[in-house]
Amino acid sequence: MQQKRILIKDTDLKKDRTRDFYTAFLTEIQDKKLEEKVQLVRVSDIGIYGKGLTVRVLPENFLYCDVETGDISRIVSESVVEGRPIEALLHKPDDKQLRLVLRNCGLVDPESIDDYIKHDGYQAIATILEKMTPEKVIEEMKISELRGRGGAGFPTWLKWKLTRAVEADQKYVICNGDEGDPGAYMDRSVLEGDPHSVIEGMMIAAYVIGATKGFFYIRAEYPLAIERVNRAVTQAHEYGLLGENILGSSFKLDIEIRLGAGAFVCGEETALISSVEGKRGYPRPRPPYPSVKGLWGKPTVINNVETLANIPLIMLKGGKWFSSIGTEKSKGSKVFALTGKVKNSGLIEVPMGTTLKEIVFEIGGGGIAGKKVKAVQTGGPSGGVIPEDFINAPVGYESLQKLGSIMGSGGMIVMNEDDCMVDIAKFYLRFCVDESCGKCAPCRIGGTQLLHLLEKISEGKGEIEDLDRLRRISRAMQKAALCGLGQTAPNPVLSTLRYFEDEYKAHIVEKKCPAGRCAGLFHFSIIEEKCKRCGLCFRNCPVQAVSGNRDQGYLIFEEKCINCGRCFEVCKFEAVSRG
């Protein structure tokens, strides 16, 4: 029997039950004399929530939910000793999901080209090379209506067609793996879990446009993705799937990897090109588009990781099949990184048209700690906040845009009453200000001014005219910034202003932060009627802002208080108020 690791987590967060369960599990292991072979670990997070006691058996990765103490001996004998899953206990992912892009992740060994080939890998390119002209492939892609998954949603077939139409002695295909939205890891998961699909997608793109050279642009912070892509490229070369005369045809393609230094702007295609060329990652004006003048001035197609991973599947199953999934204008599926104040966070993939409500409540299991979901943020720093009133909105390029957000590359953050909208806007804006390349004035200065205004407001120093300033700068950035980063950077500000202007006004007029996030805009006081004069707050205050004694009671001196919230946390009688 090989070495095993068993992870335990009570997803209902019941401390005593976990301890008893752990003890029982440990006893069972000791009884069966398996201490040497099995490591039992209590983990702090297992990736799912509200599913009772959960057990994960590694390396097989069986995940069992709603486990009871009575199941322990079965798990040990069948799964740990014999390595078999127990069907009845297995965690069943909800059926709202549809795994197209992630189809191979977790199923196919990402380090084995043979395993990929066993799962229909390189079938699509083989068929294409055998009997399809580039025009035919474009036709099929047009039927599929696949749109770029990097965020902008440009039709992939059209990008290919435009690049194909330009005559040049050299063309390039680039895979954009410079995923940079905070909290997003869709592309990383695909590159780590299924690198061959992306390579196959690049091969098809290269064949169509007539490129003989391809580049992966992957950020250096993704070492495992880089390692796996590297290995996959080497394997593909060894199998004759890259190089000259691929599969006996005249098609040739070499692929190299370029590492990005993690600048967000280098996800913008013209800045990415500069970076691959070894220059400062500055965007440049378009036109000329990369399809005409791209890498080293040659026609270049740049597709996002997720876009490319879709392509072999489309070519195998047909464009018509693909376009049968999704909404009228947004076809196929989309991967989202679901996080925030939601029970089940993680990477999910749903058909376009799935509503936010289905994602948050059925897949995500709803808000945490019984708190009401207030809004959903999509599109990362370029996106916006969609309030709970619009939670029935389906995901799709146009539908989210109509609500003042964007689909973006797939970040999705659930927010509740503890989230302050001014603070959220500030968070995203700070990200964009940090990541602004500094080339164009609207983004470079506009972003800094917006951030300054938000800081002012969250410190209670805002004036009502600042709302007008926010809107004016935002519009100038949207209209006059050079690249997508600057044009969309004000979106978090505009969307929170659109739906939560009253929160801004509470900060400005009443000098209050309703969510209790903005330090300085709330203060602590002791409610005399509730106070039992226990003195906990007095003893715990780090700056001696609480004074008094057990006879006379206690008071908090505002001028000394640093709003750390320690008294609020330690009080057992809810006698400290925050407001």
Q: Measured from the CB atom, is 451 or 541 closer to another protein?
A: 451
Please report how close the Cβ of residue 388 comes to another protein at its closest, in angstroms: 28
Piece in contact with another protein (CB under 8 A), picked from 211-219, 441-449, 511-519, 530-538: 441-449
Task: Give the phi and the psi of residue 463 in degrees, each rounded to 5.
Answer: -120, 160
Distance from C-alpha of 447 to C-alpha of 284, rounded to nearest angstrom: 19
Are 18 and 10 spatial neighbours (Cβ–Cβ below 8 Å)?
yes
Binding mask 400-439 for another protein (x = CB under 8 A): ---------------------------------xxxxxxx
Q: Which is nearer to another protein, 201 or 281 (CB)?
A: 281
From the CB of residue 105, how many other CB atoms can be counted at a distance below 10 Å? 19
Q: Please report, as residue ranges, which positions from 176 to 205 form the binding site for another protein (by CB under 8 A).
A: none
157 or 431, CB closer to another protein?
Answer: 431
Pick one of 371, 452, 511, 523: the residue that binds another protein (CB under 8 A): 452
Nearer to another protein, 113 or 437 (CB): 437
Q: Is 158 in the site for another protein (CB under 8 A)?
A: no
Which stretches within 132-194 are classed as H helix?
134-144, 156-165, 186-193
Stretch that binds another protein, among 16-24, 82-90, 282-290, 343-351 (CB under 8 A): 282-290
Listed ranges 143-151, 302-310, 320-328, 448-456: which one lies at the site for another protein (CB under 8 A): 448-456
For residue 315, list its beta bridge partners.
Answer: none
| Cβ-based nearer residue to another protein, 278 or 285 | 285
CB nearer to another protein: give 371 or 456.
456
Residue selected from 15, 33, 92, 479 as contacting another protein according to rule CB under 8 A: 479
Compare residues 69 and 449 and give the one whose CB is closer to another protein: 449
If one asks whether residue 272 binds another protein (CB under 8 A), the answer comes out as: no
What are phi and psi for residue 2, nearest 5 degrees? -80, 165
End-to-end CA distance of the chain: 59
- Minimum CB separation of residue 259 from another protein in Å reads 18
Task: CB nearer to another protein: give 136 or 472.
Answer: 472
Taking CB under 8 A as the criterion, the residue among 327, 449, 540, 563 binding another protein is 449
Query: Is cis: bond before 285, omega within 30 of 0?
Result: no
Structure tokens given for 156? 């992939």
Pairwise CA distance, residues 521 & 509, whole Å? 11
Confirm or reject binding of residue 475 to another protein (CB under 8 A).
Answer: yes
Nearest CA to 494 out of 476, 513, 474 is that of 474
Residue ranges in 438-490 assigned as alpha helix (H): 441-458, 465-480, 484-488
The answer to whether residue 162 forms part of the interface with another protein (CB under 8 A) is no
CB 182 within 8 A of CB 380: yes
User: Please, what sign has the CA dihedral across residues 482, 488, 494, 498?
Assistant: positive
CA-nearest of 319, 335, 308, 302 to 217 is: 302
Give the C-alpha separation, 180 to 73, whole Å: 45
Instruction: List interacting residues with another protein (CB under 8 A).
Output: 263, 280, 284-285, 287, 433-442, 444-449, 452, 469, 472-473, 475-476, 479-482
